[in-house]
């Protein structure tokens, strides 16, 4: 019987069915970070339990780290307490901790893949909704709450109901200057921020076949913003080539056996899905959000909606609320919106290819006067690679601050925050009210090259014009 | 681990209207710099309830008429955004024991259930009826019945259901799964031994 990857991996990891009908699902890989784990370790201690499989548990620190300081103690005593708490817990329970001193620290959804920990056919959980990122490798990967972290630590399982699967085909090719980030922003705009609730998204089609692993990760990362707790791409030669030789990837005979297994876990041709959506790659424009959720976006040539032109109802109310907060002009073109801050980084777009692509075009250009621009590599590994390629120099020469690895300004649990109602062109994943650290701060989500275009012009611009991106 | 069987929540209700109310709004990230969940209740909806100078903004949760409400009414896609359990923890520590909304984000729903907070789904028009009734009489007792899938208030009844697996767990006192999961640990080890990436 033909099955999807989701069905195969779910079945392979089902321990048993619980009394309420949910599955006791084995979580093969447990990633943890400093924000959502301390209480879970506390709960574990209260129950007098140990970590069942410490060798399948990997920790990093990312949300609270200052990106302009590596030495401890951190200036923020709360942040300092959190990193020390995680360090203590990892030591106590025998968990590998990619601490800053190891040179392997970074954002959890960047570290897992680059270490080769993220693999096809596995289940991966982390106390972070962007865990969907790891689905890019053909894993079932999803975010969990703190009490569920306790469950996974204690039993390597959690209680969960299976998701339905929506297959999303993106056919044809993307236009030059249109990137993976635009694909997912466009999909969320089209399917809605709650369109995926109850679903895992299986992404495929020519555009995905051609995507690199980093591009696949960008799309899978934001599955949750469309309501889909998990999102994945079937593993293929691109996946295997990425993994080969990485520290935690199998080697030798084990590698060959693993690859055979990974090929078998991909969705069977002709398997049935709960829903299928097809979108033409050519139709996807560079996309920018104008509102207060990731679905409130528009193509770069489009305009900010005018609620006066919308019939009374939820959509009108939601546009009015968004525009009141964002202080944007109804009906105005999105192009030309002045920005104060430009942020390139995050688990969505903080990988080597993101910085490489921008560096290609940024060379010789300068950040506009009055714009604060920061570039934050997603991991120490990414940072080292960027430096070896001279990419950091290109950013610095252009007037970007080049920072240490961490979540940075994505969600402001660290010193990188907006001030007042600053408007930020951001390569991150959420534009909710107050997301970037100021209760009145405003976020426009876009691709890395669009962030760079906004940085050098001081306003939302078409990166293809700013950087003369040629048709191939 | 012996848990309370949660069959019904009786208390006063307050309406926080709006769709897509996200977890950053429910508990801004800067209040998550903590190693316990203690004290989170004070920061529930902080940035939409407080001005920069600490004075109150107009918000239903600042309205003294609704102080002490234990049932929270809201809109569609409630709790979207982050997986942070800090959001339902803040809601619970503020004093709420049940939520009635049109729909929920997946992870938020699961987190609430694990804490023993029933998340009822109801039609917008029906939620409006409750909101109107408590708007007229904030002291009105509302009974959110998990077992029967309905909400009774001031002589009216509306249909409001909790998803079956969660409903079953709540009424049977198994809403925190740890006890059940621990019972399966031997089976877990046997399964792990059969999966190549875990057997090493």
Contact list, A321 vs chain B (CB under 8 Å): 18
> Does the beta-carbon distance from B188 to A24 stay under 8 Å?
yes
Give the pLDDT confidence of B140-170 residue by residue, as tens digits: 999 999 999 999 999 999 999 999 999 999 9
Contact list, B19 vs chain A (CB under 8 Å): 314, 318
Query: Does residue B184 sit at the A interface (CB-CB below 8 Å)?
Result: yes
Task: Give the residue on B whose Cα is nearest the Cα of A410.
Answer: B29
Could you tell me if A412 and A437 are in contact, meaning their C-beta atoms sit under 8 angstroms apart?
A: yes
- Rounded to 5 degrees, φ, ψ at A201 are -95, 125
Q: How much is the pLDDT for A472?
A: 53
H or E stretch covering B93: helix B86-94
Predicted confidence band of residue B197 (pLDDT cuts 50, 70, 90):
very high
Predicted confidence band of residue A470 (pLDDT cuts 50, 70, 90):
confident
Q: How far apart are CA B65 and CA B139, in angstroms?
A: 8
Task: Give the residue on A whose Cα is nearest the Cα of B124.
Answer: A314
Query: Does residue A260 sit at the B interface (CB-CB below 8 Å)?
Result: no
Query: Does residue B67 sit at the A interface (CB-CB below 8 Å)?
Result: no
**Dihedral angle sign, alpha carbons of residues A382, A384, A389, A391:** positive
Distance from CA of B78 to the nearest CA of A (A): 10
H or E stretch covering B48: helix B46-49
Could you tell me if B148 and B122 are in contact, meaning their C-beta atoms sit under 8 angstroms apart?
A: no
Mean pLDDT within A99-128: 98
Q: How much is the pLDDT for A341?
A: 98
Q: How much is the pLDDT for A116?
A: 98
Distance from CA of B36 to the nearest CA of A (A): 5
Q: How much is the pLDDT for A214?
A: 98
Q: How far apart are CA B136 and CA B114, in angstroms?
A: 33
- Rounded to 5 degrees, φ, ψ at A405 are -70, 140
> Does the beta-carbon distance from A52 to B52 stay under 8 Å?
no
Common-topology check for domains A5-265 and A286-466 = yes
For A145, half-sphere exposure in the C-beta direction (CA atoms, 13 angstrom radius) is 27
Q: How much is the pLDDT for B1?
A: 59
Taking the alpha carbons at both ends of chain B, their separation in whole angstroms is 33
Residues in chain B: 200
Predicted confidence band of residue B2 (pLDDT cuts 50, 70, 90):
confident
Q: Residue B132 pLDDT more than 80?
A: yes
> Does the beta-carbon distance from A434 to B182 stay under 8 Å?
no
Alpha-carbon distances, residue B29 vs A101, A111, A189, A433, B18 (angstroms): 26, 22, 25, 11, 21
From the centroid of its chain, how far is CA B40?
14
Mean of per-residue pLDDT scores for chain B: 96
The residues spanned by each domain of chain A are 5-265, 286-466
Distance from CA of A246 to the nearest CA of B (A): 15
Give the pLDDT confidence of A178-199 residue by residue, as tens digits: 999 999 999 999 999 999 999 9
The yes/no answer on whether domain A5-265 falls in CATH 3.40.50.11540 is no
b/e burial code for range B123-135 (CB count within 10 A of at least 16 → b): eeebbbbbbebbb
Predicted confidence band of residue B199 (pLDDT cuts 50, 70, 90):
confident
Nearest residue, CB atoms, B196 vs list A127, A258, A439: A258
Q: How much is the pLDDT for B52?
A: 87
Query: Regarding beta strands A199-204 and A164-171, do their DSSP bridges make them parallel or antiparallel, or are they unpaired?
Result: parallel
Contact list, B35 vs chain A (CB under 8 Å): 38-39, 42, 81-82, 85
H or E stretch covering B10: strand B8-11
Helix (H, G, I), strand (E, B) or coil at A414: coil
Query: Does residue A52 sit at the B interface (CB-CB below 8 Å)?
Result: yes
| CATH-assigned architecture of domain A286-466 | 2-Layer Sandwich (3.30)
> Does the beta-carbon distance from A28 to B177 stay under 8 Å?
no
Nearest residue, CB atoms, B28 vs list A85, A293, A434: A434
Query: Regarding beta strands A96-98 and A57-60, do their DSSP bridges make them parallel or antiparallel, or are they unpaired?
Result: parallel
Predicted confidence band of residue A60 (pLDDT cuts 50, 70, 90):
very high
Chain A to chain B Cβ contacts (< 8 Å): 205
pTM of the predicted structure, to 2 decimals: 0.96
Contact list, A142 vs chain B (CB under 8 Å): 107
Distance from CA of B60 to the nearest CA of A (A): 17
Give the pLDDT confidence of A226-238 residue by residue, as tens digits: 999 999 999 999 9
Alpha-carbon distances, residue A266 vs A205, A217, A235, B66 (angstroms): 14, 17, 6, 53
Q: Residue A258 pLDDT more than 80?
A: yes
| CATH-assigned architecture of domain B8-175 | Alpha-Beta Barrel (3.20)
Nearest residue, CB atoms, A16 vs list B34, B48, B184: B184
């Amino acid at each position: 019987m033909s099955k999807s990857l989701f069905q195969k991996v779910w079945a392979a990891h089902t321990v048993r069915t619980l009394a309420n009908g949910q599955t006791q699902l084995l979580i093969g890989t447990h990633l943890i970070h400093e924000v959502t784990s301390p209480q879970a370790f506390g709960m574990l201690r209260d129950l007098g339990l140990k970590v069942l499989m410490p060798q399948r548990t990997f920790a990093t620190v990312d949300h609270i780290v200052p990106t302009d300081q590596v030495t401890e103690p951190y200036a923020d005593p709360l942040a300092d307490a959190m990193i020390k708490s995680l360090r203590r817990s990892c030591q106590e329970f025998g968990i590998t901790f990619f601490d800053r001193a190891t040179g392997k620290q970074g954002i959890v959804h960047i570290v897992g893949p680059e270490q080769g920990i993220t693999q096809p056919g596995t289940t991966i959980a982390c106390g972070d909704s962007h865990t969907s990122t790891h689905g890019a490798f053909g894993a079932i990967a999803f975010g969990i709450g703190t009490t569920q972290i306790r469950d996974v630590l204690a039993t390597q399982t959690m209680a969960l109901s299976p998701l339905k699967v929506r297959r999303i085909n993106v056919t044809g090719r993307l236009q030059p200057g249109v990137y993976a980030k635009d694909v997912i922003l466009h999909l969320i705009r089209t399917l809605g921020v709650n369109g995926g609730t109850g679903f895992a998204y299986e992404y495929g089609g020519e555009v995905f076949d051609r995507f690199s692993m980093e591009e696949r990760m960008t799309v899978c990362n934001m599955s949750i913003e469309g309501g889909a707790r998990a999102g994945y791409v079937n593993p293929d030669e691109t996946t295997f080539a990425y993994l080969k030789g990485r520290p935690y990837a199998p080697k030798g005979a084990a590698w060959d056996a693993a690859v055979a297994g990974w090929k078998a876990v991909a969705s069977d041709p002709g398997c049935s899905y709960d829903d299928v959506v097809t979108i033409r790659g050519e139709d996807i424009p560079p996309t920018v959000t104008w509102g207060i959720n990731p679905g409130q976006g528009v193509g770069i040539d489009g305009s900010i909606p005018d609620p006066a032109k919308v019939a009374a109802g939820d959509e009108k109310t939601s546009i009015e609320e968004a525009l009141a907060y964002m202080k944007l002009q109804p009906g105005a073109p999105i192009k030309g919106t002045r920005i104060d801050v430009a942020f390139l980084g995050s688990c969505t777009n903080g990988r080597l290819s993101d910085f490489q692509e921008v560096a290609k075009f940024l060379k010789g250009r300068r950040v506009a006067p009055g714009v604060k621009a920061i570039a934050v590599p997603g991991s120490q590994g990414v940072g080292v690679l960027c430096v070896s390629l001279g990419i950091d120099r290109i950013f610095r020469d252009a007037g970007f601050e080049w920072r240490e690895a961490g979540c940075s300004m994505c969600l402001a649990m660290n010193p990188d925050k907006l001030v007042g109602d600053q408007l930020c062109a951001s390569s991150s994943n959420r534009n909710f009210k107050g997301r970037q650290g100021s209760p009145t701060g405003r976020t426009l989500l876009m691709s890395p090259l669009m962030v760079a275009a906004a940085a050098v012009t001081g306003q939302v611009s078409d990166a293809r014009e700013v950087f003369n991106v040629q048709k191939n | 681990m012996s848990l309370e069987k949660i069959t019904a929540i009786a208390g006063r209700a307050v309406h926080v209207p709006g769709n897509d109310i996200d977890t950053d709004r429910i508990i801004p990230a800067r209040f998550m710099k903590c190693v316990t969940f203690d004290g989170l209740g004070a920061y529930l909806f902080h940035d939409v309830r407080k001005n920069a100078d600490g004075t109150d903004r107009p918000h239903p949760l600042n309205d003294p008429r609704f102080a002490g409400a234990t049932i929270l009414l809201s809109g569609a896609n409630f709790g979207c955004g982050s997986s942070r359990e800090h959001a339902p923890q803040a809601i619970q520590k503020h004093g709420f024991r049940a939520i009635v909304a049109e729909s929920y984000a997946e992870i938020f729903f699961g987190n609430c259930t694990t804490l023993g907070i029933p998340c009822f789904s109801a039609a917008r028009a029906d939620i409006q009826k409750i909101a109107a009734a408590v708007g007229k009489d904030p002291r009105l007792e509302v009974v959110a019945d998990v077992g029967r899938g309905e909400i009774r208030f001031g002589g009216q009844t509306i249909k409001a259901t909790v998803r079956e697996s969660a409903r079953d767990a709540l009424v049977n006192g198994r809403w925190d799964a740890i006890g059940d999961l621990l019972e399966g640990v031997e089976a877990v080890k046997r399964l792990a031994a059969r999966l190549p990436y875990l057997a090493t």
